[in-house]
């Protein structure tokens, strides 16, 4: 059920400010693509433009093309809400809904859209999603407890369970481990590894070891200069990026000689 | 108090220090002044006792009352403590002590009316309270007896109606301001005018309701609904402000999480933002009700005064507690003591209602707060 | 799964349109209500221009009618602010800087209770308790500082004077001024305060050097909001004051100027015809004055917030 994404000549603006310029790439299906680069280079902005989340910020707009499964994401008749149902997202800080229990959090995607579910079907979705997020064993006895009572790492896995419960095609992850301790991070990385057989995953990360560990392909973003828009410098197989990148600036960044 | 130990400085011979003008031995031996003379910790207490005693002596010998004794005592304290401090410490410390005394005196002075008022209302109002007082109206009552049942009902009905009008308008406006308006001109205008509206005199709200209702019902109109409209005008800005604050406190990440699940914006607001902010909203609304439930002036104008029970908001005069208090005290009837006693009794009931609402607001805020479960 | 992503033909969903429309209408309602206040008061107030002395308690024209009332309103408010401002700033300092952390919250709550007391109860307390208590004070003032025009006397024997009204108004304005001042005091950047303390300042010097300069415009607007409350307060004044509608600076006699709000409350229940219109016209004047005061206060706050950003 996973799909690949084709991006061509994508420019992203905040008001008059051009944040990301001229990105073209193909994100392969059923694999993990990592986006790396220095802070403020537009990788998160780019990620959010893949499911039209950046529109939440007033004044944000794009031009260019994002095509998934033969459909243009930014065509005028496309409903951003439908786009987000197909392309799920996990955020930097775990954000379970504080008013809901663990069970309700997993079902939030369907419940919030007033989708009627039989008790039996709902239970099935909850168990399947929590198992998918490697959280089932830890929480199966306290599904009615608030989601906010879990540890940070558990909360983040709950958020992943919530995202996969609506069965999206693609899963976008915006620095999902940056607020977590190393043990939780490793749990999430294992989970990403398991999920890629079913989903197309795009992950933004600051941690280059993490990019190297989890991804098949890596895209390096950089700023052309201070105050200039971010752009895609290089996209290649992860192995190649980390051993023998095409661009000197990629190598400089990866080896820590950032300039 | 931890004792400050002077740092040890080992004197070295001047010639050991190149580039420094050779100081005298005396200079080097002097340590950094970290301590200076200070009043002992019990000094303020001692001065307070002395000032109190001195003023008490004066009061006894001159036959003053309690108030004069307290005033003179505080003045003596405010003079003596800084004066002593000036002698022992320095003028800066003295000034500091003077200001400390002054701000605390200001605080104490501000509490005097509160204490006195509560004491007066309780002591004068309590004798009036009995079953008849709470369950009878004033219909056909001359002199002793009668009660405030009609006024309590009027207050409850009119305030309830005001809440029914204000809460949806205030809540939706707050949603507009936080979720939709963002930085638009209209949103900024509304925010500013809502702030200004909080300062509308209540009597003007009453006149507005009257001027509005006269257009439909002719001169001399009196009706409970008009009171509710006037109170709404006072209540809406309070509701808007508190709801706005609460919506702003809902983390943006929660909205994004819902959007990312493919939830439309309006459902996100109704199902995520609203429940998350519910505790604060309920608190805010309760406080707004507490604020308008004691309003007198607008109701005097548009709801009027009657001795009888009236359950119909849409016709005829309707008495509320504050208006009842006003009339019972200013037109107590003959003999006056019964009317005046009823006024104090009604004031006690009103204060109890207002304080209960304030307390309820805090309790509800706790009950509805999202549970972290830890 | 081959669900298409193009079910919605319109860019805005119906639910969103309806909901955002509803919120917009609510916002507009508020604007309309405020405009309505001005419009209806003007409509019903204008006929008073033709009102004669018999409807204006003897005044020749509506202007001559409003003049003394406006004077009384301003005088009572001025007394209230003179008393309330220093007290309120002191109280705010206690809550924000002087009281121990643990108790300062409950102290603030006690002051907030002052704001929760209904104005009619203040009126009751003012006329039934405070007024009689102040009679000896007024007599003393008349005897000892009677050469000041403010205390010329003869001292009222009931305590129902404009000074009593001013004191009650001060108590009512105090919690408002305190609430806003203490919020601003608490917002003073910790860095500034620590910088002052690091220079060896005493607590008072720290407050004077770091807190007051930062909070100056905030205090000004807080006082103006308190003024707004004092100007518009009705019941306390209506009950406490024994008014005869004259213009005088004598604060302790039984002949006192009335205030606009109190005059409306006292006269409205019995007013008829053009008398009602005249009262509404005075209400319009009060509305304009309080609106201007609040407008200015809020504008100062808004400007300060922008400056601090």
Chain C positions in Cβ-Cβ contact with residue B197 (cut-off 8 Å): 30, 34
Range with the lowest mean pLDDT among A32-36, B88-92, C135-139?
Answer: B88-92
CATH number, domain containing residue A249: 3.40.50.300
The domain tally of chain A equals 1
Option in A82, A86, A99 nearest B276 (CB): A99
Token digits for C135?
């009679």
A57 compared with B277, residue with greater pLDDT: B277
Which residue does chain C place closest to A1, by CA atoms? C1
Model confidence band, residue B351 (pLDDT cutoffs 50, 70, 90): very high
Whether residue A128 lies inside any domain: the answer is no
pLDDT of residue C214: 85
Smallest Cα distance from B57 to chain C, Å: 21
d(CA B12, CA B270): 77
**B182 in A contact zone (CB under 8 Å):** yes
Q: What string of DSSP letters covers C16-46?
A: HHHHHHHHHHHHHHHHHHHHHHHHHHHHHHG
Q: Angle C299-C303-C306 (CA atoms, 0-180°, nearest 5)?
A: 140
Chain A positions in Cβ-Cβ contact with residue C17 (cut-off 8 Å): none
Q: A38 lies in which domain range? A: 5-94+171-254
Residue B371 has pLDDT above 60, yes or no: no
Option in B182, B275, B372 nearest A148 (CB): B372
DSSP state of A146: B
Average pLDDT over residues B24-33: 59
Whether residue C39 lies inside any domain: the answer is yes
Strand partners, C228: none
Whether residue C23 lies inside any domain: the answer is yes
Whether residue A75 lies inside any domain: the answer is yes
The answer to whether C1 contacts A79, with C-beta atoms less than 8 Å apart, is no
Which residue does chain A place closest to B252, by CA atoms? A95
Residue B81 burial (C-beta neighbours within 10 Å; 0-12, 13-18, 19+): buried
d(CA C273, CA C50): 12
The domain tally of chain C equals 1
pTM here is 0.83
**C295 in B contact zone (CB under 8 Å):** yes
Model confidence band, residue B139 (pLDDT cutoffs 50, 70, 90): confident
Option in B173, B219, B294 nearest C27 (CB): B173
pLDDT of residue C151: 82
pLDDT of residue C9: 37
Residue B27 has pLDDT above 60, yes or no: no
Option in A69, A79, A169 nearest C8 (CB): A79
H or E stretch including C92? Answer: helix C62-93
Token digits for B364?
């509800």
Chain C positions in Cβ-Cβ contact with residue B195 (cut-off 8 Å): 294, 298, 301
pLDDT digits (tens, 9 = 90+) for B151-200: 999 999 999 999 999 999 999 999 999 998 877 889 989 988 888 888 88
Backbone angles phi, psi at A126, to 5 degrees: -60, -50
Whether residue C5 lies inside any domain: the answer is no
Instruction: Give the closest residue to B235 by CA, choosing from B273, B197, B267.
Output: B197
Which residue does chain C place closest to B179, by CA atoms? C20
Residue B374 has pLDDT above 50, yes or no: no
Smallest Cα distance from A20 to chain C, Å: 24
The answer to whether A81 contacts C13, with C-beta atoms less than 8 Å apart, is yes
Residue owning tokens 């809460």: B167
pLDDT of residue B2: 44
ipTM of the complex: 0.88
**B325 in C contact zone (CB under 8 Å):** yes
pLDDT of residue B14: 46
Residue owning tokens 């006056």: B336
Whether residue A182 lies inside any domain: the answer is yes
Average pLDDT over residues A6-20: 89
Distances (CA, A) of B134 to B290, B346, C117: 20, 9, 21
pLDDT of residue B28: 54
pLDDT digits (tens, 9 = 90+) for A217-247: 999 998 877 778 888 999 999 999 988 888 8
Q: Which of residues 200-259 of C touch B (CB under 8 A)?
A: 202-205, 207, 225, 228-229, 231-235, 238-239
Residue B16 has pLDDT above 50, yes or no: no
Average pLDDT over residues B25-38: 64
pLDDT of residue B313: 85
Backbone angles phi, psi at A232, to 5 degrees: -80, 120
Whether residue C7 lies inside any domain: the answer is no
H or E stretch including B227? Answer: helix B224-249
Chain C positions in Cβ-Cβ contact with residue A77 (cut-off 8 Å): 6, 8-9, 11
Strand partners, A17: A14
Partner chains of C (3+ C-beta pairs under 8 Å): A, B
CATH number, domain containing residue C71: 1.10.3720.10
The answer to whether C1 contacts A169, with C-beta atoms less than 8 Å apart, is yes
Smallest Cα distance from A87 to chain B, Å: 8
The answer to whether C286 contacts B300, with C-beta atoms less than 8 Å apart, is no
User: Which residues of chain C fall below pLDDT 70?
Assistant: 1-12, 305-309
A60-68 and A5-14: which strand pairing?
antiparallel
Whether residue C61 lies inside any domain: the answer is yes
**A167 in C contact zone (CB under 8 Å):** yes
Option in C86, C239, C297 nearest B329 (CB): C239
Which residue does chain A place closest to B180, by CA atoms? A58
The answer to whether C1 contacts A78, with C-beta atoms less than 8 Å apart, is no
Smallest Cα distance from B223 to chain A, Å: 42
Whether residue A119 lies inside any domain: the answer is no
d(CA B40, CA B47): 11
B186 compared with B85, residue with greater pLDDT: B186
pLDDT digits (tens, 9 = 90+) for A150-209: 988 899 999 999 998 988 889 999 998 888 888 888 888 988 988 888 889 999 998 888
d(CA A103, CA A120): 13
The answer to whether C6 contacts A77, with C-beta atoms less than 8 Å apart, is yes
The answer to whether B329 contacts C30, with C-beta atoms less than 8 Å apart, is no
Whether residue A200 lies inside any domain: the answer is yes
Chain C positions in Cβ-Cβ contact with residue A81 (cut-off 8 Å): 8, 13
The answer to whether C8 contacts A167, with C-beta atoms less than 8 Å apart, is no
pLDDT digits (tens, 9 = 90+) for A79-101: 888 888 889 999 988 889 988 99
pLDDT digits (tens, 9 = 90+) for C38-76: 898 898 888 888 777 777 777 778 888 888 999 999 999
DSSP state of A5: E
Smallest Cα distance from C16 to chain B, Å: 5
Q: Which of residues 150-169 of C touch B (CB under 8 A)?
A: none
Whether residue C149 lies inside any domain: the answer is yes
Chain C positions in Cβ-Cβ contact with residue B95 (cut-off 8 Å): 202, 204
pLDDT of residue B370: 65
**A224 in C contact zone (CB under 8 Å):** no
Give percent of chain B above pLDDT 90.
29
Whether residue C8 lies inside any domain: the answer is no
Q: State the CB neighbour count (10 A cutoff) for residue A241.
A: 26
pLDDT digits (tens, 9 = 90+) for B108-117: 888 888 899 9
Q: Which of residues 335-374 of B touch A (CB under 8 A)?
A: 370-374
Q: C175 lies in which domain range? A: 13-308
Whether residue A237 lies inside any domain: the answer is yes
Helix (H, G, I), strand (E, B) or coil at B168: helix
Whether residue C127 lies inside any domain: the answer is yes
pLDDT of residue C308: 54
Average pLDDT over residues B40-47: 80
Non-local (6+) Cβ contacts of B10 within 8 A are: none
Instruction: Give the closest residue to B322 by CA, choosing from B358, B348, B341, B284.
Output: B348
Partner chains of A (3+ C-beta pairs under 8 Å): B, C
Residue B373 has pLDDT above 50, yes or no: no
Whether residue A31 lies inside any domain: the answer is yes
Whether residue A163 lies inside any domain: the answer is no
């Amino acid at each position: 059920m996973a799909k690949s994404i084709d991006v061509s000549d994508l420019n992203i603006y905040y008001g008059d400010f051009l944040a990301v310029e001229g990105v073209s790439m193909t994100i392969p299906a059923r694999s993990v693509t990592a986006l790396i680069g220095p802070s403020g280079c537009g990788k998160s902005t780019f990620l959010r433009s893949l499911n039209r989340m950046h529109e939440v910020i007033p004044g944000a707009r794009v031009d260019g093309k994002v095509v998934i499964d033969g459909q243009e994401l930014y065509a005028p008749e496309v409903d951003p809400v439908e786009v987000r149902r197909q392309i799920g997202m996990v955020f930097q800080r775990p954000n379970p809904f504080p008013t809901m229990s663990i069970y309700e959090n997993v079902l939030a995607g369907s419940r919030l859209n007033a989708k009627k579910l039989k008790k039996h079907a709902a239970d099935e979705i909850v168990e399947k999603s929590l198992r998918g997020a490697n959280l089932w064993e830890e929480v199966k006895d306290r599904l009615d407890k608030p989601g906010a009572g879990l540890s940070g790492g558990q909360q983040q896995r709950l958020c992943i369970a919530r995202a996969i419960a609506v069965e999206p095609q693609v899963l976008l992850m915006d620095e999902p481990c940056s607020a977590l301790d190393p043990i939780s991070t490793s749990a999430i990385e294992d989970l990403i590894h398991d999920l890629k057989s079913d989903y197309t995953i795009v992950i933004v990360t600051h941690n280059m070891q993490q990019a190297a560990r989890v991804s098949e392909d890596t895209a390096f973003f950089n700023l052309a200069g201070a105050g200039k828009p971010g752009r895609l410098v290089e996209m290649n197989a992860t192995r190649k990026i980390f051993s023998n990148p095409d661009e000197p600036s990629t190598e400089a960044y990866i080896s820590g000689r950032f300039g | 108090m931890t004792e400050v130990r002077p740092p040890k400085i080992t004197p070295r011979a001047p010639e050991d220090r190149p580039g420094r003008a050779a100081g005298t031995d005396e200079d080097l031996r002097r340590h950094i002044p970290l301590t200076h003379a200070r009043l002992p910790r019990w000094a303020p207490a001692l001065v307070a006792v002395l000032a109190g005693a001195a003023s008490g002596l004066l009061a006894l010998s001159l036959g003053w009352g309690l108030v004069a004794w307290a005033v003179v005592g505080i003045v003596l304290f405010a003079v003596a403590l800084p004066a002593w401090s000036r002698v022992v410490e320095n003028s800066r410390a003295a000034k500091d002590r003077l200001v400390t005394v002054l701000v605390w005196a200001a605080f104490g002075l501000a509490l005097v009316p509160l204490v006195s008022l509560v004491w007066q209302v309780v002591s004068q109002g309590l004798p009036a309270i009995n079953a008849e007082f709470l369950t009878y109206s004033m219909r056909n009552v001359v002199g002793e007896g009668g009660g405030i049942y009609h006024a309590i009902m009027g207050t409850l009905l009119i305030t309830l109606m005001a809440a029914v009008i204000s809460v949806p308008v205030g809540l939706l406006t707050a949603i507009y301001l936080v979720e939709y308006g963002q930085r638009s001109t209209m949103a900024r205008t509304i925010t500013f005018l809502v702030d200004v509206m909080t300062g509308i005199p209540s009597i003007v709200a009453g006149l507005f309701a009257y001027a509005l209702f006269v257009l439909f019902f002719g001169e001399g109109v009196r009706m409970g609904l008009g009171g509710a409209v006037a109170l709404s005008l006072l209540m809406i800005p309070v509701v808007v402000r508190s709801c706005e604050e609460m919506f702003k406190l809902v983390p943006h990440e929660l909205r994004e999480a819902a959007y990312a699940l493919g939830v439309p914006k309006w459902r996100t607001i109704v199902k995520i933002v609203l429940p998350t902010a519910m505790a604060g909203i309920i608190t805010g609304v309760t406080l707004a009700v507490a604020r308008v439930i004691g309003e007198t002036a607008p109701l005097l104008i548009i709801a009027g005064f009657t001795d009888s029970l009236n359950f119909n908001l849409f016709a005829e005069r309707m008495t509320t507690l504050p208006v009842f208090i006003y009339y019972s005290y200013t037109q107590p009837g003959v003999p006056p003591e019964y009317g005046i006693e009823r006024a104090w009794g009604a004031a006690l009931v009103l204060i109890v209602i207002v304080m209960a609402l304030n307390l309820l607001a805090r309790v509800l805020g706790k009950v509805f707060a999202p549970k972290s479960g830890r | 799964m081959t669900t298409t992503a193009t079910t919605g033909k319109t860019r805005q969903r119906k639910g969103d349109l309806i909901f955002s429309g509803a919120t917009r209408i609510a916002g507009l309602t508020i604007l309309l209500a405020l405009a309505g206040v001005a419009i209806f008061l003007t409509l019903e107030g204008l006929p008073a221009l033709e009102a004669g002395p018999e409807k204006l308690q003897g005044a020749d024209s509506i202007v001559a009618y409003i003049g003394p009332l406006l004077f009384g309103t301003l005088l009572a408010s001025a007394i209230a602010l003179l008393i309330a401002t220093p007290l309120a700033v002191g109280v705010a300092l206690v809550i924000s800087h002087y009281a121990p952390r643990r108790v300062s919250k409950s102290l603030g709550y006690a002051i907030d209770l002052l704001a929760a007391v209904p104005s009619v109860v203040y009126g009751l307390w003012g006329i039934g308790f405070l007024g009689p208590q102040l009679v000896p004070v007024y007599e003393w003032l008349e005897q000892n500082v009677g050469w000041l025009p403010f205390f010329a006397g003869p001292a009222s024997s009931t305590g129902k004077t404009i000074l009593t009204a001013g004191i009650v108004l001060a108590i009512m304005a105090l919690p408002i001024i305190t609430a806003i001042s203490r919020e601003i005091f608490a917002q003073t950047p910790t860095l500034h305060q620590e910088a002052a303390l690091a220079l060896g300042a005493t607590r008072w010097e720290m407050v004077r050097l770091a807190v007051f300069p930062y909070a100056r415009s905030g205090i000004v607007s807080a006082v103006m909001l308190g003024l707004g409350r004092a100007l518009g307060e009705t019941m306390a004044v209506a009950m406490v004051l024994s008014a005869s509608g004259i213009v005088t600076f004598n604060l302790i006699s039984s002949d006192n100027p009335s205030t606009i709000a109190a005059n409306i409350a006292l006269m409205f229940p019995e007013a008829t015809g053009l008398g009602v219109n005249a009262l509404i016209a005075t209400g319009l004047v009060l509305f304009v004055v309080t609106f201007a005061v609040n407008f200015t206060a809020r504008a100062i706050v808004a400007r300060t917030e922008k400056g601090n950003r």
